[in-house]
């Protein structure tokens, strides 16, 4: 009886502590301006209330509850955390070509940990990683989610699918190694099996190469790689299993066949033409243009130790890329922000915005590619891409007005991910 009374008294004493422990802390951000990325309107002198990981209220007339932690950003513009739809966190610019052959999978994963932090501190709170060796991006995603590593929300593809001898095969190794890269598959049965395998080992999204590429040996960016039947098999299997599909495609039949096969995005699109533009607009396929890399690469390729064949391809593809993508943007192709970061140093992702503006977008349209548009492409529009109640408290702040000077996004002063300040 005494033990029963003691336990009851103890529970009564501990109950308030248990209730307190279960109540998330409320944070109130006092913002000079909050950008509504849908309309382009600024909310002046607004509060953003955050409970746990989520925003619960936004506006100038929000009542701040007693005891809330107040973060003073009254001199700044607050925006939703940015989204990069095309990164390679586990690679760096000096690791392409032969130099990449000496990097083990564990070493690549650790490179990813470094670059994940750099990317988050640059204001990108969500990224889609499109291709990593040995599922190193899947491991990185899981480490970020577990709180072991600081980084953005990571949507991982694992290894990209490609044909034997294609863009993502390991063509620098000679025959006697008898080696094929992780994602190589041929034939309809082969690509279905490979798609299932990549999903089995943790991929959130499927990427395949429908044309050759630039930073690879022995393939042609203008040439289609997978057949139409193979592409339809990849897309059909991925969609059936609940995964979106991104196609690396520079142009020509490879790009058009990928769009007809039903991919969700075209990456790069360097040689896109009127027919490709028509198909993408008709099907609502997003273009992820990755343009800034052309500026950085052409200024720095001599330092990278790449073979002459790759340099020759770059000098052909990259000027065409600027011209054709500017035309596609003006024609109204849906655009989601992506950078191909790793071709140039991570953390410079926001330099893509100024290039988009030079190619005809307004600053607001460029910002929308990395917020509302990218959130739709990633199928995360319910949780990221705007400063709205119910969404994750993924927020950034800059000193000026990025709708007037988009380069403000290259100078991020404050970053919050899921209600946790990571840069202040």
Q: How confident is the model at residue 19 (pLDDT cuts 50, 70, 90)?
A: very low
Q: How confident is the model at residue 305 (pLDDT cuts 50, 70, 90)?
A: confident
Residue 236 and residue 111 in one domain: yes
Q: How confident is the model at residue 173 (pLDDT cuts 50, 70, 90)?
A: confident
Copy the structure tokens of residue 291: 């343009």
The confidence score (pLDDT) of residue 152 equals 98
Residue 88 and residue 75 in one domain: no
The yes-or-no verdict on residue 389 having pLDDT over 90 is yes
Give the CATH number for residue 157.
3.20.20.140
Residue 363 and residue 394 in one domain: no
The yes-or-no verdict on residue 58 having pLDDT over 70 is yes
63 secondary structure, DSSP code: P
SS3 state of residue 334: coil
191-234: pLDDT as tens digits: 999 999 999 999 999 999 999 999 998 899 999 999 999 999 99
Given the DSSP bridges, would you call strands 414-417 and 395-398 parallel, antiparallel or unpaired? antiparallel
Considering the domain boundaries, does residue 14 fall inside one? Answer: no
258-302: pLDDT as tens digits: 999 999 999 999 999 999 999 999 999 999 999 999 999 999 999
The confidence score (pLDDT) of residue 18 equals 44
Give the CATH number for residue 76.
2.30.40.10
Considering the domain boundaries, does residue 13 fall inside one? Answer: no
Residue 137 and residue 90 in one domain: yes
Q: Can you tell me the distance from the alpha carbon of 371 to that of 365, in angstroms, rounded to the nearest whole number? A: 10
Residue 302 and residue 392 in one domain: no
Range of the domain at 343: 82-377
Residue 34 and residue 53 in one domain: yes
Domain boundary among 377, 397, 413: 377
Structural domains of the chain, count: 2
Contacts of 258 by beta carbon, 8 Å cutoff, 6+ apart: 210, 231, 247, 249, 266
Considering the domain boundaries, does residue 324 fall inside one? Answer: yes
The confidence score (pLDDT) of residue 4 equals 53
DSSP string, 181-197: -TTB--HHHHHHHHHHH
Residue 176 and residue 54 in one domain: no
Q: Specify which residues 42 forms β-bridges with.
A: 35
Residue 197 and residue 73 in one domain: no
Calculated CA dihedral for residues 200, 205, 208, 210, nearest 10 degrees: 150
The yes-or-no verdict on residue 96 having pLDDT over 80 is no
Whole-structure pTM value: 0.93
229-256: pLDDT as tens digits: 999 999 999 999 999 999 999 999 999 9
Q: How confident is the model at residue 80 (pLDDT cuts 50, 70, 90)?
A: very high
Residue 100 and residue 71 in one domain: no
Considering the domain boundaries, does residue 19 fall inside one? Answer: no
Copy the structure tokens of residue 155: 């949507």
Considering the domain boundaries, does residue 10 fall inside one? Answer: no
Residue 89 and residue 72 in one domain: no
Residue 58 and residue 154 in one domain: no
**By percentage, how much of the chain surpasses pLDDT 90?**
87
């Amino acid at each position: 009886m005494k033990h029963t009374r003691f336990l009851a008294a103890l529970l009564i004493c501990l109950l308030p502590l248990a209730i307190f422990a279960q109540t998330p802390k409320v944070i109130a951000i006092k913002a000079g301006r909050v950008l509504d990325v849908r309309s382009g309107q600024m909310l002046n002198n607004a509060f953003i209330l955050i409970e746990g990981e989520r925003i619960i209220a936004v506006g100038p007339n929000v009542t701040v509850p007693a005891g809330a932690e107040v973060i003073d950003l009254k001199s700044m513009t607050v925006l939703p955390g940015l989204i990069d739809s095309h990164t390679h966190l586990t690679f760096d610019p000096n690791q392409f070509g032969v130099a990449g052959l000496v990097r083990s999978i564990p070493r690549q994963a650790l490179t990813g940990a470094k670059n994940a932090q750099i990317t988050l501190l640059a204001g990108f709170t969500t990224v889609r990683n499109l291709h990593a060796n040995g599922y190193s991006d899947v491991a990185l995603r899981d480490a970020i989610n577990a709180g072991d590593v600081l980084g953005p929300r990571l949507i991982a593809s694992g290894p990209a699918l490609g044909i034997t001898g294609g863009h993502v095969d390991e063509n620098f190794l000679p025959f006697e190694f008898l080696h094929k890269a992780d994602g190589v598959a041929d034939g309809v049965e082969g690509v279905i099996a490979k798609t299932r395998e990549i999903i089995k080992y943790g991929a959130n999204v499927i990427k395949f190469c429908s044309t050759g590429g630039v930073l690879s040996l022995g393939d042609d960016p203008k040439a289609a790689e997978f057949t139409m039947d193979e592409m339809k098999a990849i897309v059909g299997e991925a969609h059936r299993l609940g995964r979106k599909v991104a196609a690396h495609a520079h142009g020509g039949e490879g790009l058009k066949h990928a769009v007809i096969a039903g991919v969700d995005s075209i990456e790069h699109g360097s040689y896109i033409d009127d027919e490709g533009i028509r198909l993408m607009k008709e099907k609502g396929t997003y273009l992820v243009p990755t343009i800034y890399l052309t500026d950085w690469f052409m200024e720095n390729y001599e330092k990278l130790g790449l073979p002459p064949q790759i340099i020759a391809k770059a000098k052909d593809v990259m000027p065409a890329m600027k011209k054709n993508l500017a035309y596609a943007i003006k024609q109204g192709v849906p655009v989601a922000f992506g950078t191909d970061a790793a071709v140039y140093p991570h953390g410079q992702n926001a330099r893509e915005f100024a290039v988009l503006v030079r190619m005809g977008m307004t600053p607001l349209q460029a910002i929308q590619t990395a917020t509302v548009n990218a959130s739709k492409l990633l199928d995360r529009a319910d949780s990221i891409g705007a400063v709205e109640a119910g969404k994750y408290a993924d927020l950034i702040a800059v000193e000026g007005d990025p709708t007037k000077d988009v380069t403000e996004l290259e100078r991020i002063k404050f970053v919050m991910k899921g209600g946790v300040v990571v840069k202040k």
